Amino acid sequence: MNPFVAIAPEVQAALSEGRAVVALESTIIAHGMPYPANLETALRLEAVVRQAGAVPATCAIVDGRLRAGLSEEEIERFAQKGRSIAKASRRDLGYLLSRGLDGATTVAATMIIAHLAGIRCFATGGIGGVHRGASATFDISADLQELAHTPVAVVCAGAKSILDLGLTLEYLETFGVPILGYQTDEFPAFYARSSGLKVDYRMETPEAIAQLLKAHWGIGLRSGAVVANPIPELYALNDKDMEETIAKAIADAEHQRIRGKDLTPFLLARIEQLTGGLSLKANVELVCNNAHLAARVAQALVARHHQGFGAV
């Protein structure tokens, strides 16, 4: 085992016994939501995964080690400390590990930890992507390159709708990352169920997703996969209203000259203000929905292994 990686005993036992495990990120705890909503959501996510028959592995950097699985006390500490904890993507890992620091992992960093631990399924809210105006700023999330190179399935409600969704899909196509729509033909737009953009393949069941992932990785392809799972209709927000809200939030960010890793947290917080909290509720429900599906996909992958299809 890599000396920089520590796997929680419950997670290690599940992996050793061939049981389903789902990775969860920690940026949503420290940077994605205010306290105590972040703590409540993190614990609810773990409960959703357990209720669906899998073991949750919330990932983070704790005292300079990559952790797959946190205790409830550690989750609460991350929730309370919030944005004082570093937001950690791929480029930040070496620094945080070398200094013995804490870090809240993004999609990219969580994928790295999951892969090192042997976890194949990861649930998040929405992936990062190509930012609007990227032709001038070159602002493209490291999540996309991680999906191109790290064999982990990421269950999400599409990409965050603050992004240029069309260019995000083009980028993923270039790097051979399959976009699987769970019971949908359209790529979801985070708060909204549709974007007008098509997924690569519509998948009706977790078992069908597992079968495709098995084939994808079985021939030696090293990329991940996006499992696009629309927000439940009950909690979906109107796409036209959200577009106006996002445009306002982006204008505010430009006025305040907010850039880089501070941009997404600012936009999400501003959108929450502009929607009177509706976007936060939608965010919580969509990520819980993703955690449930990820647990089912993880179970299906385990079942295929036990049926004699070999390791994935």
Catalytic residue numbers, as ranges = 25, 160
For the beta carbon of residue 310, count every other beta carbon within 10 angstroms: 9
Q: Over the Cα atoms of the chain, what is R_g?
A: 18
Q: How far apart are CA 206 and CA 208, in angstroms?
A: 5
Plot region of 159 (φ>0 → left; ψ -120 to 50 → alpha; else → beta): beta
CB 188 within 8 A of CB 196: no
Residue count (the chain) = 312
- Quote the DSSP letter at residue 200: S
Q: Among candidates 82, 41, 77, 119, which has minimal Cα distance to 280?
A: 41
Q: How far apart are CA 65 and CA 3, in angstroms?
A: 8
Angle (CA) 286 140 283, round 5°: 15
Alpha carbon dihedral 257, 258, 260, 263, in 10-degree steps, equals: -150
Give me the phi and psi of 198, to 5 degrees please.
-90, 145
| Strand, helix or coil for residue 7 | strand
